[in-house]
Structure 1
Amino acid sequence: MPDLTKARQFLYHEADLMDRHAYDDWLALWTPDAKYLIPCNEDDYDDRLHVSIVNEDHAGLCDRVARLKSSSVWAQRPKSRLSRIIGNVRFQPTGPDGLVGQATFNLTAVRHGAIDVIAGRTEHRLRATPSGLRLVEKTVWLVTIDDVMPNLTFLL
């Protein structure tokens, strides 16, 4: 069974990679069967029935990282300065090599003198691999799920 302390450290590491725009290192945290979701407008969200802010598999994550690394992302010129706090981290085993967990986050993004605060909770499904823990699935539930949102052209 994966170590729960290592799972918490994994979330902190993921947050640090996102804040530093370390896109390739962040992408390396994912399994090939990855699923990344950011729902919108529905508390009882079903990705087969509802529109999403983000609904990507591993190929979609690769495309997202390639776009973020390119010079064509005008909404991130210059890149936002990011700082997030992860809290209320809880994990439970889901079998011999899996964990499912929840956490809350508070992200401050600063760009061109504008400050955005983005808050929410995440659900992570992790798998132990020979290379360490890897992300299988991540859902980001934004507090502002049904409100006007700031520019989200960075990783959540």
Structure 2
Amino acid sequence: MPIDRQRVEQFLFREAQLMDEHRFDEWLALWSEPALYWVPSNRDEIDPAREVSLIYDDWVRLQLRIARLKSGFAHAQEPRSRMRRLISNIEIEEVGDGEIVTHSNFLLAELRRGKQDLFAGRTTHRLRPENGSFKLLSKKVLLVNNDEPIDNLTFLI
């Protein structure tokens, strides 16, 4: 079955919107076990079992991250960041068992307490078709500046 590019793109755009609008439960509902949400540090291709990552969440840690963000006790997100991101250069490939891998570039503008930051990078999503849409199996975010100090990465990137 050929890949429906528009459906894949709409899924990625929807995920971006949910993150930007802090719609945490809806964002978490996009995921399926086994989940892996990974933001490497220092280099693009590291072994997360041997080196520090900015984020390395499995399904349980992902749920804990969302619970903390919703709790009101995520002080680095009080007030919450105002964000908007652009997604571009989307590449889509079928990898077997109906799963799809996407690679895309993003640019995220974040404003918090009068300070604006820009984050840019490349995201790889692993998706499984389900009920006319997709479920996220894994997400890897390679920040352009992942080898530089990052002040506030307490939101969904």
Which TM-score band (shorter chain)?
A: over 0.9
1:51 corresponds to which residue? Answer: 52
- TM-score w.r.t. length of structure 1: 0.95
Aligned residue for 1:65, secondary structure, equals: helix
Alignment gaps of 5+ in structure 2:
none
Q: Are residues 1:86 and 2:87 paired?
A: yes
Corresponding residue pairs, total = 156
When structure 1 is superposed on structure 2, of 128-137 and 54-63 the one drifting more is 128-137
Once residues 66 and 97 of structure 1 are traced to their aligned partners in structure 2, the CA distance between those partners, rounded to angstroms, is: 31
Over the matched positions of the two proteins, sequence identity in percent amounts to 43
SS of the residue 2:148 aligns to = coil
Q: Which residue is 1:125 aligned to? A: 126
Q: CA deviation at 1:150?
A: 2.5
Residue 20 (structure 1) shift: 0.1
* Alpha-carbon distance in structure 2 between the residues aligned to 1:8 and 1:45: 28
Asked if 1:63 is matched to 2:67, the reply is no
Cα deviations across residues 80-133 of structure 1 (Å, max 9, x unaligned)?
100100010111111242100100110000011100101111011000123620
Q: Which residue of 1 aligns with 2:98?
A: 97
Residue by residue over 1:12-53, the C-alpha shift from the partner in whole angstroms, topping out at 9 and shown as x without a partner, is 000000000000000000012111100001233122222111
Aligned to 1:15: 16
2:145 counterpart residue number = 144
The whole-number CA distance in structure 2 between the counterparts of 1:18 and 1:102 is: 18
TM-score, scaled to structure 2: 0.95
- The answer for unaligned runs of 5 or more in structure 1 is none
Bigger shift: residues 45-54 or 71-80:
45-54
1:66 positional shift: 0.1
How many angstroms apart in 1 are the aligned matches of 2:29 and 2:132? Answer: 10
